[in-house]
Amino acid sequence: MKVTLEHLTKRFPNRNKKIKEDVIAVNDFTFEIPDGKLIGLLGPSGCGKSTTLNMISGLEKPTSGKVFFGDDDVTGLPPENRGVGLVFQNYALYPHLTVRQNILFPLQNLKGKDKLSKEVMEEKALEAAKLVQIDAYMDRKPGELSGGQQQRVAIARALVKMPRVLLLDEPLSNLDARLRLQTREEIRRIQIETGITTIFVTHDQEEAMSISDMIVVMKDGIFQQMGKPQDVYDKPVNLFVAKFLGTPAINVFNGEIKDGKLYIGDDAILDVNLENQQVWAAIRPEGFVVSDNGALKCTLKQVEVMGRDTSVISLNDNLDGISVRSIIPSDTTINPVNGIVSFNIKPYKIHLFSKETEERLEF
C-alpha cells in the first residue's frame, strides 16, 4: 500500500504558556512512501517523527494537509478504520492477558461483516505468533517474557489483522544492545515476508540505515532528504544531514575555495570547480588516507586500535569541533613527523556546503 503525505502540517499550542507562537511539529510534509517498502523516519528528538507517524495512524489530526493510503484519502478516518498496525516503544500489552489473548484482542473487536469465527481467530493468532517466533509462549503472561519477547507479541498483535500499513514508533528503545540488533533484523525479516508497507520511527541513524529501504531525515519539523540509506549518506543535501548520518560523525572543517582549489588552512586539499568562497568542508572518517606527503596536516593526539580498523584522533585548527576522527585500516603504519600526521583525502568522501545556506555544493 502506497502512503502519500500531501502538505501535511501539525501545529500545537506551545506547552510554555508564556510563548504565544504555536510549535510547528510537522511543517508541510509532502512525500510518497512506495508500496511494500520499509521506511525509516529519522531525526533528533523533538523533530516531529512521532507526530508524523500519529497523523498517518489517525491518532493525531493534522492542522492541514492530507494522508492517502493508495488512492484513498484517509485524513478524516479514525485509526480503527485505516487498517494500520501500531507498535510502540513500551509494548503496551495487557498484563493480565496471555500472549494468545493479547494477539487475539484486535480480532475479537471486529464487528458486523468483519466478525470472525473463534477457529479462524485462533488460526490467525497462531499464524502471527509463528511469524514473530513467539508461538511457544502462547499461554504465558507478558510479565513472564523478556523485553524482546514482549515486543514480538506487540508486533504479532499489530500484524494479526494484516494491516495495510505497519507503523513502528521507536520499537527497540527499551531493549538492550544485543536484543536491539536481533529484533531489528527480525523486523526486517517479517516486513519482507509480509510485504506490508512499514514506517519505522527512530532517532538512531544506524538502526534506520541498516534495515530501511529508504530513509526520511527530518529536522525541527522540516523534511530534509529522502532516499536509499547509502545514497543519503553519500550525497547529503545539507550540512545537517551530513552530520546526522555516520558514526563516528563526519569531520567538519572551515574551508576556503581559492582559484579552483579547496584549502583547509594553508593545506591545498583538492581541485574544485567552484567560485572563490568560504565553505564547510566535511570529511567522512573513512575518507582519510595516511600518507607521508598527504595534503592535510594534523597534530596526532591518539591512536585507538579497534581490531579491524584503527581510529586516528588528531587536531587541526580549522576543525569545527574538538578533534579529527579518521578510520584507517589496522595494518597502516603511522609515522608522525614532529607530531604531525599527513592525510590525503578520498574526493568522494569529502562534501562541501555553502557557509550561507549550509546546502550542498557540487564540485
Interatomic CA distance for residues 201 and 87, integer angstroms? 10
Q: Say how many residues touch ligand ATP, by CB under 6 A.
A: 13
Query: Where in 23-42 is the site for ligand ATP (CB under 6 A)?
Result: 23, 25
Shortest distance in whole angstroms from residue 47 CB to ligand ATP: 4
* Closer residue to ligand ATP (CB): 59 or 303: 59
In this complex, which beta carbon is closest to ligand ATP, that of residue 48 or of residue 287? 48
Q: Which amino acid is at 345?
A: I
How near is the Cβ of 13 to ligand ATP at its closest, in Å? 6
CB 193 within 8 A of CB 38: no
Q: Is 48 in the site for ligand ATP (CB under 6 A)?
A: yes
Query: Based on CB atoms, which residue is closest to ligand ATP, 18 or 111?
Result: 18
Q: Which stretch in 43-51, 67-75, 250-258, 303-311 sits in contact with ligand ATP by CB under 6 A?
A: 43-51
Q: For 257, phi and psi rounded to 5 degrees?
A: -95, 125
257-270 as b/e, with b when 16 or more CB fall inside 10 Å? beeeebbbbebebb
The answer to whether 12 contacts ligand ATP (rule: CB under 6 A) is yes
Burial string for 120-157 (b: 16+ CB within 10 Å, else e) reads: ebbebbbebbebbebbebbeebbeebeebbbbbbbbbb
Sign of CA dihedral 61, 62, 66, 69: negative
Sequential DSSP letters for 222-275: EEEEEE-HHHHHHS-SBHHHHHHSSSSPPEEEEEEEETTEEEETTEEEEE----
- What grid cell was written down for 314? 588528531
3-state secondary structure of 29: strand
Of 3, 51, 84, 226, the one binding ligand ATP (CB under 6 A) is 51
Q: Does 113 bind ligand ATP (CB under 6 A)?
A: no
- Cβ of residue 51: shortest distance to ligand ATP, in angstroms? 3
Residue 15 in the binding site for ligand ATP (CB under 6 A): yes
Determine if 47 is a binding residue for ligand ATP (CB under 6 A): yes
Stretch that binds ligand ATP, among 46-54, 102-110, 171-179, 191-199 (CB under 6 A): 46-54
Burial label, 251 (beta-carbon count in 10 A; 0-12, 13-18, 19+): buried
Least distance between ligand ATP and beta carbon 48 (Å) = 4
HSE, CB side, 13 Å, CA atoms: give it for residue 121.
17
Task: Give the span between the Cα atoms of 59 and 80, in whole angstroms.
Answer: 10
Q: Pick from 3, 29, 39, 50 the residue near ligand ATP by CB under 6 A.
A: 50
Is residue 188 at the binding interface for ligand ATP, with CB under 6 A as the rule? no
Q: Please tell me whether residue 102 binds ligand ATP under the rule CB under 6 A.
A: no
Binding to ligand ATP by residue 351, rule CB under 6 A?
Answer: no
Q: Does 104 bind ligand ATP (CB under 6 A)?
A: no
Number of H-type helices and E-type strands within the chain: 8, 21
**Other beta carbons less than 10 A from residue 355's beta carbon:** 14
CB burial of residue 68 (10 Å; 0-12, 13-18, 19+):
middle
Stretch that binds ligand ATP, among 47-55, 176-184, 253-261, 333-341 (CB under 6 A): 47-55
Give the Cα separation of 354 and 346 in Å (integer): 20
Q: Give whichever of 49 and 100 is closer to ligand ATP, judged by the CB atom.
A: 49
* Interface with ligand ATP in residues 197-226 (CB under 6 A): 203
Smallest separation, CB 25 to ligand ATP (Å): 3
Q: Which window, 44-52, 232-240, 297-305, 336-344, contacts ligand ATP (CB under 6 A)?
A: 44-52
The residues that touch ligand ATP, with contacts defined as CB under 6 A, are 12, 15, 23, 25, 43, 45-51, 203
